[in-house]
């Protein structure tokens, strides 16, 4: 006759736990902090606990921080004495749950020699249950319920807490996914706006170059007729500057063509060895030492102009981040792979490295912190892709930089003479 009330009480408690789970599922998942605070309050009420915490792991200082704590006397005292921050190095049961992922239940925390003094004495905790919550299988924090009464929580309470912990992991994971998508959308919009603005500017600048070149040619004709050697020297410098400006504008317009899907290559039989020597000769100076290891002749089918510009971009990048008098090497060779022959072109130095923000340009030309040289790296990569090839960059402080352009070639087009 006495067992009936116990069954009724257990059934009633189970109904309350299930009802609380239903209320948790109704909470909005958009405002994470507010939702978790409400969740902590619902859990503390249904369990009749003295405190419920949602501890998050802060990787920067390896600490568990209670960002969601129930508004109860013990919860307020926890914050007052600083027990809402638990360094992993200090151990304790909550830290152990986070590290191991194993749930925890005790009715006599005050008798546990491994428990923190601040928990046992500072808060007067006797009973505790705790469960880890995960996001994509990664431990992200601990859901903790405590009471000053011994033997207060049951196994059923722990199973309930584990279910809530799983829900917390889902809410956090969903919120982070939404935030990541929002950030990506903003970043993509910013890049598209930047690319559109740059394209408009490039077209406008291009319209001014033709009359400017005509004026310079007229000045050159007059200077030659009148024998003004100094003016001819200045005109040559102006022509070189104009030529570089034209190349920059062409690069910017190529970015637009790539984004619009109108970028194309025109392969034709060419001697890569001759092209390499031409480009290296143009870059040569007293301050720059470029050593080449190239076959006497290497015939392949590729777009000569695109390949030339890709090589110019790669050399310009390596030279920019190589101190004066440090040696730069450029090597070309062919190798047989499972899918056929490939031509490999490598530019490298021994010590200097490329900043990480420049390397980000492999995927997009106008990053938040990308310097101007990033545009060249982006175009070189896309030109490699247009030839069905690849561009890889290895760069580490003190270990040098190595940029490798790899191009697949047809067996019948390839001819190498060492």
DSSP state of 122: I
Query: Which helix (H) or strand (E) is 215 found in, with range?
Result: helix 155-226
Q: Residue 301 pairs with which residues in a beta bridge?
A: 269
Interval 132-181: pLDDT, tens: 999 888 898 899 999 999 999 888 888 888 888 888 888 888 878 887 88
Say which residues have a Cβ less than 8 Å from residue 1's Cβ, sequence separation at least 6. none
Contact assessment for residue 64 and residue 57, using Cβ atoms and an 8 Å cutoff:
yes
Q: What is the distance between the alpha carbons of residues 351 and 397, in angstroms, rounded to a whole number?
A: 7
Query: Which helix (H) or strand (E) is 134 found in, with range?
Result: strand 127-135
Say which residues have a Cβ less than 8 Å from residue 158's Cβ, sequence separation at least 6. 103, 105, 129, 131
Distances (CA, A) of 247 to 69, 241, 337: 61, 10, 35
In this predicted structure, what is the pLDDT of residue 126? 92
Say which residues have a Cβ less than 8 Å from residue 228's Cβ, sequence separation at least 6. 222
Distances (CA, A) of 266 to 132, 216, 311, 332: 59, 32, 17, 22
Q: Give the CA count within 13 Å in the CB-facing half-sphere of 231.
A: 13
Distances (CA, A) of 34 to 39, 52, 177: 9, 15, 18
Interval 50-81: pLDDT, tens: 888 889 898 888 999 888 788 889 988 988 88
Distances (CA, A) of 225 to 74, 218, 232: 96, 11, 11
DSSP string of 59-104? TTTTEEEEEEE-SSHHHHHHHHTTTTEEEGGG--HHHHHHHH---E
Say which residues have a Cβ less than 8 Å from residue 376's Cβ, sequence separation at least 6. 251, 312, 313, 314, 316, 317
Give the residues of the chain that fall short of pLDDT 70: 1-32, 190-208, 248, 251-253, 255-263, 284-286, 357-374, 413
Distances (CA, A) of 254 to 159, 211, 380: 60, 22, 11
Residue for token digits 């024998």?
227
**If DSSP codes are grouped into helix, strand and coil, which group holds residue 340?**
strand
Q: How many residues does the chain have?
A: 418
DSSP state of 360: G
Residue for token digits 């005292």?
77
In this predicted structure, what is the pLDDT of residue 216? 83
CA dihedral 303, 308, 309, 312 (to 10 degrees): 160
In 227-379, DSSP assigns E strands to 268-271, 289-293, 297-302, 327-337, 340-348
The two tokens of residue 108 are 């006599």
Distances (CA, A) of 281 to 120, 271, 275, 330, 332: 77, 16, 10, 12, 16
Q: Residue 146 pairs with which residues in a beta bridge?
A: 51, 128
Q: How many other C-beta atoms can be found within 10 angstroms of the C-beta atom of residue 293? A: 10
């Amino acid at each position: 006759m006495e067992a009936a009330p116990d069954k009724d009480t257990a059934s009633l408690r189970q109904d309350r736990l299930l009802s609380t789970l239903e209320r948790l599922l109704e909470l909005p998942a958009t405002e994470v902090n507010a939702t978790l605070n409400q969740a902590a309050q619902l859990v503390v009420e249904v369990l009749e606990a003295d405190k419920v915490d949602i501890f998050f792991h802060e990787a920067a200082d390896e600490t568990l921080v209670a960002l969601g704590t129930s508004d109860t006397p013990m919860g307020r005292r926890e914050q007052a004495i600083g027990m809402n921050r638990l360094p992993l190095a200090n151990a304790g049961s909550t830290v152990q749950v986070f590290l191991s992922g194993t749930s925890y239940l005790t009715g006599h925390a005050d008798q546990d020699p491994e428990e923190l003094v601040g928990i046992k004495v500072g808060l007067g905790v006797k009973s505790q249950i705790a469960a880890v919550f995960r996001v994509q299988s990664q431990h992200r924090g601990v859901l903790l319920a405590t009471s000053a009464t011994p033997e207060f929580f049951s196994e059923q309470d722990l199973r309930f807490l584990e279910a809530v912990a799983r829900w917390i992991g889902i809410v956090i994971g969903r919120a982070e996914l939404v935030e990541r998508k929002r950030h990506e959308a903003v970043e993509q919009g910013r890049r598209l706006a930047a690319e559109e603005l740059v394209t408009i500017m490039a077209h406008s600048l291009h319209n001014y170059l033709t009359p400017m070149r005509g004026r310079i040619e007229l000045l050159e004709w007059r200077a030659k007729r009148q024998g003004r050697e100094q003016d001819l020297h200045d005109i040559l410098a102006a022509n070189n500057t104009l030529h570089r400006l034209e190349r920059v504008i062409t690069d910017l317009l190529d970015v637009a063509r790539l984004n619009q899907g109108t970028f194309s290559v025109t392969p034709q039989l060419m001697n890569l060895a001759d092209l390499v020597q031409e480009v290296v000769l143009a870059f040569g100076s007293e301050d720059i030492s470029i050593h080449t290891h190239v076959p006497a002749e290497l015939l392949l089918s590729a777009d000569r102009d695109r390949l030339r510009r890709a090589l110019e971009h790669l050399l310009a990048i390596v030279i920019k981040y190589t101190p004066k008098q440090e040696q730069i090497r450029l090597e070309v060779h062919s190798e047989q792979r499972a899918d056929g022959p490939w031509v490999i072109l490598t530019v490298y130095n021994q010590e200097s490295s490329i900043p990480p923000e420049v390397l980000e340009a492999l995927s997009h030309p106008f990053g938040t912190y990308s310097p101007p040289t990033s545009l060249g790296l982006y175009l070189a990569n896309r030109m490699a892709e247009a030839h069905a090839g690849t561009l890889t960059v290895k760069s580490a402080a003190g270990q040098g930089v190595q940029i490798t352009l790899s191009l697949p070639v047809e067996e019948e087009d390839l001819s190498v003479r060492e």
